[in-house]
Chains A and B, each alone.
Chain A
Amino acid sequence: MNQIAPVAALRSGGCGDAPILRERGQREVFCGLTGIIWLHRKIQDAFFLVVGSRTCAHLIQSAAGVMIFAEPRFATAIIDERDLAGLADANDELDRVVGRLIERRPDIKLLFLVGSCPSEVIKLDLSRAAQRLSRQMAPDVRVLSYSGSGIETTFTQGEDACLSSLVPELLAEAADAAPSLLVVGALADVVEAQLGRLFTAIGIQDVRFFPPRNSRDMPKIGPNTRMLLAQPFLAETGRLLEARGAQYLATPFPLGVEGTTAWLQAAATAFGVNQDHFDRAIAPARDRATGAVARHRAQLEGKSIFLFPDSQLEIPLARFLSRELGMKLVEVGTPYLHRQHLAAELDLLPEGTSLSEGQDVDLQLDRCRAAAPDLVVCGLGLANPLESEGMTTKWAIELVFTPIQGFDQAGDLAELFARPLVRRMKLAV
């Protein structure tokens, strides 16, 4: 999974070929199951059935806080002792659980069987189960499978695995179809709408988003598809889409004014948009964003920041924080570094930035304490303990659950980092 593509030809300057600290100790990060929390709200006729243990059920419930709907569109089929006795039995059990589920929820059109550590260790073949169930329930329900297990995936890689499982479902576009733009990665609806309007203003008419809100609206794909990744953690999805003919557009990610401009520019260039027209089309949103970001610069400029690995958003965020807000990067940790998709980002990082990949949480905490940064970006398990040691922290998970991409979120994104510092200054207790 997540095969790392060979290091692409890197431009000089920046951090493109900087050495990186690789650690293999305790990783304090979520597993890929966590992606279900935002994915089930994105694809609105899909249901996510985790095949796992009570731990898996508890993880999703705890990571989501408690998010209880009349009926949530995710659940866990908890494996018990009887299932461990024999595999044939476990498959029958799975069929029974899925049958019950579909009976309760006839509105489900797409069902994901999501593998976990236990299902993988006992070698429960969910892709075969998915094929079998898909045959049984055709044409009403399509059944797919992917792994969100902690032994295979880290946090946002769950989305990568989910989208990868959808790629073979996409219909082929004719080789002579007009060029289209495919935006890849789950974005909040509000962000999608804003980006859609910008693309229209720029003059790119045929823009498709993947994943779509409805499983029946899967975009077609072919050699005239140009693909913009909206998220930095889509290594496998990107690879599979390229294999289906899509042309990958290398660009920084749409975080901050600079990132969003470059990202839109990559599409404009690919579609041969006139430069003046492009500049005029994005000017209002871009100027608005520049002003919104500037309002937070005073608060953040010159402050040092340490990012623990969490979502793979760390490198684009670090680029934004250092270049648009003037923050000093102490250490930028990431669970995985995909050199090809992040090449443009790495080039923009200040030379000599300390990067780390993987984790040994105790050693990293030692480094963090020694550096005493002004702000620490970390997971929920570390935030309060670090606050109690006198550090100021920002929960990383909020960066995944909050709309942060595009011009109109750039100010909000800056504010997310400014707020903990403002708060620390304000409190007099």
Chain B
Amino acid sequence: MQLTLWTYEGPPHVGAMRVATGMEKLHYVLHAPQGDTYADLLFTMIERNAKRPPVTYTTFQARDLGSDTADLFKTAVRDAYARFQPQAMLVGASCTAELIQDDPGGLARALDLPVPVVAVELPAYQKKENWGANETFYRLVRAFAGPVERTPGGPRCNILGPTALGFRHRDDVREITGLLTRMGIAINVTAPLSATPADLVRLADADFNVVLYPEIASSTAAYLDRQFGQKSTKVIPIGVGATRDFIVEVAGLAGIDATAVLAESQSNLPWYSRSVDSTYLTNKRVFVFGDASHAIAAARMAEQEFGFKVVGLGTYSREFAREVREAARLYGIEALITDDYLEVEEQVAALQPELVLGTQMERHIAKRLGLPCAMISAPMHVQDFPARYAPQMGFEGANVIFDTWVHPLMMGLEEHLLGMFREDFEFNAAPSHLGASATPARVPEPVLETVAAQAVPDSSVQPQPAGPARWAPDAEKELSRIPFFVRGKARRNTEKFASDQGLTLITVETLYDAKAQVGR
């Protein structure tokens, strides 16, 4: 049993839903109790899908247990087929149905439906959402992909991995499709997103695979390699450097020359980063956390394309722990592999980064600690599905990321001016583009983002206990002269320094001793 406050990933059947909802003409019948229908709102409310997910839940109740849950399941499959007329059916169990062992696959096959039925077994007490998506996609491809005659013509590839409820998947697909097209490569099938079961049948009609999200497509890519000898890309094209590497890798797989594409492909990031107003970004300390692919890519961009210093790197994707550990070694740090939100929070609080690059969870951690934050990975909230075109991948993705990561930071010149004018009582010391609410709060505050309005105020939040050392009035005054955006850090560092030194009174001297010691 594991004590869990917040979870990065849902259960594995939610991964299966992401695959099914991304696809067309596939219907998923899930043996599950009524409460599990909450998963629909992830798609209809967070991603704002206009259609219900193609999922039928059996919603068995206690009174059905032991008597007719199997019949209930068969009826649900039969009715769903009759109503939705899919090309294929996917069937499986959620955590509760796994325990009652009704064998959804066997029951569905016994119905002799005129379409193929694919059963996925997703061990809910061991595995999580991304694993579930990976397994489901693999099972579908295994069931459908077969030998086909190669369409004559130039190089062709499949794009593998995008699903519903993915972090910018739709926009990434558009960006990478454009890039591959400019390289003269035809796209055979993009899957799961927007593919039908019939499309999966002809996956072999491609020379190689572009794997955009290994968390979802790694098993499928390995299978297609074994079965049809299709190699796949390893580079995730996030960032200017990685996109260029990706172009070279793709050109190698396609047997074409990439020189022209590399020469004409442009992003504004390199110039924006070189522009002198970006000097202030140098060695800003960043903490990176997300799924493995996005975290590794973000760390590389942070170091090489923004000139930041990566002080923390981690992932909740245990399946890719090795890759993240390797990446962390590049920055001389130890990777944080955990799905325990509290552990992540502890590390962020200890590292006091100047920017947090993370998921929805890190956004809340950062808000509480008064740190700037930008999103790089799922899980995410409704505001992370922007109306505008906002890919993460390719050259346009690099532009989007430049704007996104710099936005929460103080502009370089502004930072300087704040320092100059901070004594002016009329001066409102908050970054002008963020509004007053951006002022970091030192005391943890509850962060509310409920779906609906909240009825009852909460009074559970206690202020942090005061540190053991007392601040002398002149030291407190000196502290107030320090710009607000580093004041919290200076206070914490000084208090820690004082307690390490066993001091009970913090004077102006202590403040500067601490500054000299801690430095950065």
Contact = CB atoms under 8 A, between A and B. Distances in A.
Interface of A: 25-34, 38, 41-42, 44, 51, 53-59, 61-73, 75-81, 83-84, 90, 93-94, 96-97, 100-101, 107, 117-118, 120-122, 149-152, 154, 188-189, 362, 379-385, 387-388, 395, 397-398, 400-403
A78 B127 CA distance: 12
Contacts of A149: 33, 35, 62
A45 B37 CA distance: 31
A152 to B, nearest CB: 5
Indicate the size class of the contact surface on chain B.
35 or more
Given A53-B124, A55-B94, 14 more contacts: A26-B56, A30-B34, A30-B37, A31-B36, A55-B14, A59-B38, A75-B4, A78-B3, A94-B1, A122-B99, A149-B33, A380-B451, A397-B452, A401-B453
B124 A55 contact: yes
Contacts of B445: 70
Interface in B113-160: 123-126, 128
A189 B456 contact: yes
Contacts of A94: 1
Interface of B: 1-7, 9-11, 13-14, 33-42, 44-45, 48-52, 56-62, 65, 76, 79, 83, 94-96, 99-100, 123-126, 128, 360-361, 364, 368, 381, 444-462
A57 B45 CA distance: 18
Nearest to B37: A28
B451 A117 contact: no
Contacts of A384: 44-45, 48-50
B1 A66 contact: no
Contact of B36 (A59, A76, A80): A59
13 contacts: A25-B59, A59-B36, A66-B6, A67-B447, A70-B446, A78-B1, A83-B1, A121-B65, A150-B35, A151-B62, A189-B456, A381-B38, A382-B44
Contacts of B458: 41, 44, 69
Contact of A69 (B38, B126, B446): B446
A118 B32 CA distance: 11
B471 to A, nearest CB: 23
Contacts of B35: 29-34, 55-56, 59, 117, 149-150
A48 to B, nearest CB: 12
8 A-B pairs closest in CB distance? A31-B35, A381-B40, A150-B35, A150-B33, A388-B50, A401-B452, A117-B96, A53-B95
Given A69-B461, A381-B44, A385-B51, A26 B58 contact: yes
Given A53-B96, A66-B360, A75-B3, A151 B460 contact: no
A26 B59 contact: yes
Contacts of B79: 25, 362
B99 A58 contact: no
Nearest to A33: B35
A359 to B, nearest CB: 8
A179 to B, nearest CB: 29
Contacts of B40: 28, 380-382
Contacts of B60: 151
B375 to A, nearest CB: 13
B57 A151 contact: no
Given A97-B3, A385-B44, A398-B453, A70 B52 contact: no
Contacts of A27: 34, 37, 59
Contacts of A57: 4, 6-7
A124 to B, nearest CB: 10
